[in-house]
């Protein structure tokens, strides 16, 4: 018995370490401009609430003990009529990927747990190429298997990841199996309590990326904030031929820059450019960039601008800017599900544009890449955030690593986007020592990965002692931030709208202030007087009082009221006014603009014309 136990232990530990040393590599960026085989489409799925396809009856993971008969990862078929297999992907239903399961399958509307997905595909394998399996996002934990072998695990529902599959790929038929688990966890990021729908599934594009043996995996090209004529960054190769000569061509700027990568495949880039056509909301100009090395060519469209803080001003290309913004979730209210496509990004962002916004806060997690790129083309500045939301386990080391990983994947994916100006470390987190340590370390890492953008976080306000109408923002985390942001709901969660007229503000830092949230709920089509909550008139009145207050504060350099569109949330249970919808949208769940939309638009029009 001891021998058997030892055998199991060695087997499982060696297989376990194989998983740990999975082939997951650093993120491939700019994927839409690469050679792609799309794996979007219909995927078969098996709902597995007891994780029967993952654990045996002693709760041992099949993929760790190397048992291919029970584990769904092997996608086994009966060998003959005497062979018993208790699952079958092909005979199981299918759903569309990308796509969350809650909005596609009625019985799964509130489901939280494990669902297995499988997709077959054919490929003509080229012997001189490399292949990577890329996921735009899977919420929340993904175990990924390729032709029956485990590639690894990814945790975090809103950022991309990839695995190399060159050696596992067959010329001809292949299959991918993914175990997706969207159970909420106390140690998760976010944790168990959020005010949004926990859409599960493979919620963004899946690609097989074909690259050359040595390829350009990543690059960064952005303007130096202190020097309008200096483009800086790096090029990173991946592959055996790491020392190469390369060129960066930027045709519209007459740039033809030569570089050499070193023995780590890395080259530092410093391009002295002439006068550039700078990106701004009024002129969202993108240059055509072409990077060529001896073994690869990669294109992108990149805009150049500077973003900085001076005293209490935010300077875009050296000039003070007021951020006329709005918050949004990554949700399409019309189909009621996660948004993942360019068309959906366009629909949502158009509502922001018509509101006369020059800025959006992508709350509360990294949105899909189409959202960021579409905003960039439309001239919308962007705040991006990781889901460090409300009450994270601040002292838990693995929770911290999880948050860090999500931060890194977000920044690495988007650090070439000119419109992204603020990285947010989180939302409405409590003022404690542990949380300061946690979040200041994130801020430090964000600066390391991308020193060219501003760092912020949505903080909270508190009342000054013995002064009921003096509100302060002096969170010690503010010390680590470039922009002081906070959420306030005076007139909704806190008193009636006319309370706004009495408030004095004290900001503990001499920094630009951008209100990251304020808002009130209203059911579109419900009309009453301005004191009746849930009516459109009440929401419009709330905005009127808020904007009067905000308009007087000189230190406020922008705002993103909560929120552009009504969104689904299990926390919103009033049977008449809510029905699982947070109704703070300025646009309703059926796409109709509420009265308050026009109050805010009017305010933004005036601010724009003030200049």
Which positions lie near ligand GCB, rule CB under 6 A?
A: 195, 364, 427-428, 487, 517, 562, 582, 584
Nearer of residues 322 and 492 to ligand GCB, judged by Cβ = 492
Structure tokens at 384: 């991006």
Rounded CA gap, 542 and 532, in Å?
Answer: 11
**Nearest-approach distance from CB 142 to ligand GCB, in angstroms:** 25
**Nearest-approach distance from CB 53 to ligand GCB, in angstroms:** 34
Which residue is at the shortest CB distance from ligand GCB?
Answer: 195
Structure tokens at 75: 């996608």
Residue with tokens 């724009």, as numbered in its chain: 608
**Nearest-approach distance from CB 358 to ligand GCB, in angstroms:** 22
Helix (H) / strand (E) containing 414:
helix 397-414
**Nearest-approach distance from CB 572 to ligand GCB, in angstroms:** 8
Nearer of residues 368 and 560 to ligand GCB, judged by Cβ = 560
Torsion angle in degrees (nearest 10) through CA of 402, 404, 406, 407? 160
Per-residue b/e over 392-423, b at no fewer than 16 CB within 10 Å? bbbebeebbebbbbbbbbbbbbbbbbbbbbbb
Nearer of residues 344 and 428 to ligand GCB, judged by Cβ = 428
Residue 166 per-residue DSSP state: T
φ, ψ at 77 (rounded to 5°): -115, 150
Nearer of residues 286 and 600 to ligand GCB, judged by Cβ = 600
Rounded CA gap, 606 and 356, in Å?
Answer: 10
Nearer of residues 321 and 425 to ligand GCB, judged by Cβ = 425
Query: Which residues pair with residue 458 across a beta bridge?
Result: 427, 485
Residue 408 per-residue DSSP state: H
Nearer of residues 121 and 390 to ligand GCB, judged by Cβ = 390
φ, ψ at 521 (rounded to 5°): -85, 145
**Nearest-approach distance from CB 399 to ligand GCB, in angstroms:** 19
**Nearest-approach distance from CB 427 to ligand GCB, in angstroms:** 5
Rounded CA gap, 29 and 291, in Å?
Answer: 14
**Nearest-approach distance from CB 546 to ligand GCB, in angstroms:** 14
Nearer of residues 159 and 569 to ligand GCB, judged by Cβ = 569
Nearer of residues 114 and 191 to ligand GCB, judged by Cβ = 191
Nearer of residues 194 and 535 to ligand GCB, judged by Cβ = 194
Rounded CA gap, 367 and 205, in Å?
Answer: 13
Tally of CB atoms within 10 A around 264: 10
**Nearest-approach distance from CB 389 to ligand GCB, in angstroms:** 7
Structure tokens at 590: 């059926």
Say if residues 197 and 203 touch (Cβ distance below 8 Å). no
Q: What is the 3-state secondary structure (H, E, C) of 459-518?
A: EECEEECCEEEEEEECCHHHHHCCCEEEECCECCCECCHHHHHHCEEEECCCCCEEEEEC
DSSP 3-state assignment of 574? Answer: coil
Nearer of residues 293 and 487 to ligand GCB, judged by Cβ = 487
**Nearest-approach distance from CB 563 to ligand GCB, in angstroms:** 7
Structure tokens at 387: 């889901």
**Nearest-approach distance from CB 293 to ligand GCB, in angstroms:** 44
């Amino acid at each position: 018995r001891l021998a058997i136990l030892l055998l199991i232990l060695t087997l499982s530990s060696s297989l376990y370490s194989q998983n740990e040393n999975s082939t997951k590599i650093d993120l491939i960026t700019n994927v839409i401009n690469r050679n792609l085989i799309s794996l979007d489409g219909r995927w078969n799925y098996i709902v597995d609430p007891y994780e029967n396809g993952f654990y045996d009856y002693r709760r041992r993971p099949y993929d760790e003990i190397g048992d291919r008969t029970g584990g769904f990862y092997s996608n086994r078929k009966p060998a003959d009529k005497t062979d018993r297999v208790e699952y079958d992907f092909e005979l199981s239903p299918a759903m569309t990927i990308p796509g969350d399961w809650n909005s596609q399958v009625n019985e799964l509307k509130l489901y939280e747990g494990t669902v297995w997905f499988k997709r077959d595909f054919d490929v003509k394998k080229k012997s001189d190429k490399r292949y990577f399996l890329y996921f735009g996002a899977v919420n929340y934990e993904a175990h990924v298997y390729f032709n029956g072998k485990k590639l690894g695990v990814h945790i975090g529902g809103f950022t991309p990841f990839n695995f190399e599959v060159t050696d596992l790929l067959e010329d001809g038929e292949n299959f991918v199996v993914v175990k997706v688990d969207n159970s909420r966890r106390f140690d998760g990021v976010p944790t168990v309590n959020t005010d949004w729908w926990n859409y599960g599934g493979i919620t963004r594009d899946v690609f097989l990326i074909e690259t050359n043996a040595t390829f350009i995996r990543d690059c960064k090209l952005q303007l130096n904030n202190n020097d309008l004529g200096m483009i800086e960054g790096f090029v990173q190769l991946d592959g055996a031929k790491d020392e190469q000569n390369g060129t960066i061509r930027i045709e519209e700027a007459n740039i033809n820059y030569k570089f050499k990568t070193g023995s780590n495949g890395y080259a530092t880039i410093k391009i002295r450019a002439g006068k550039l056509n700078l990106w701004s909301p009024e002129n969202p100009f993108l240059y055509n960039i072409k990077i060529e090395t001896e073994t690869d060519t990669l294109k992108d469209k990149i805009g150049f601008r500077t973003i900085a803080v001076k005293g209490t001003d935010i300077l875009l290309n050296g000039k003070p800017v007021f951020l006329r913004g709005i918050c949004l979730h990554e949700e399409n209210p019309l189909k009621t599900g996660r948004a993942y496509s360019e068309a959906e990004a366009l629909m949502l962002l158009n509502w922001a544009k018509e509101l006369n916004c020059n800025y959006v806060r992508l709350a509360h997690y990294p949105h899909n890449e189409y959202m960021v790129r579409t905003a960039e083309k439309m001239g919308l500045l962007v705040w991006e955030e990781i889901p460090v939301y409300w009450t994270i386990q601040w002292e838990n080391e693995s929770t911290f690593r999880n948050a860090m990983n999500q931060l890194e994947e977000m920044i690495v994916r988007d650090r070439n986007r000119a419109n992204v100006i603020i990285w947010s470390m989180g939302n409405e987190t409590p003022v404690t020592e542990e949380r300061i340590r946690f979040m200041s370390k994130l801020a430090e890492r964000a600066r390391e990965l991308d020193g060219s953008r501003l760092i912020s976080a949505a903080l909270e306000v508190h009342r000054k002692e013995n002064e009921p109408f003096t509100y302060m923002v002096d969170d010690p985390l503010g010390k680590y931030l470039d922009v002081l942001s906070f959420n306030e709901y005076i007139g909704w969660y806190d008193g009636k709208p006319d309370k706004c007229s009495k408030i004095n503000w004290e900001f503990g830092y001499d920094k630009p202030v951008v209100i990251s949230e304020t808002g009130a709920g209203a059911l579109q089509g419900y009309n009453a007087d301005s004191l009746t909550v849930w009516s459109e008139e009440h929401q419009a009145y709330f905005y009127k009082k808020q904007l009067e207050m905000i308009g007087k504060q000189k230190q406020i350099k922008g705002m993103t009221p909560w929120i552009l569109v009504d969104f689904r949330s299990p926390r919103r249970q009033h049977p008449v006014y809510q029905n699982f919808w947070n109704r703070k949208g300025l646009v309703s769940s059926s796409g109709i603009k509420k009265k308050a939309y026009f109050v805010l638009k009017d305010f933004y029009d005036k601010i724009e014309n003030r200049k």
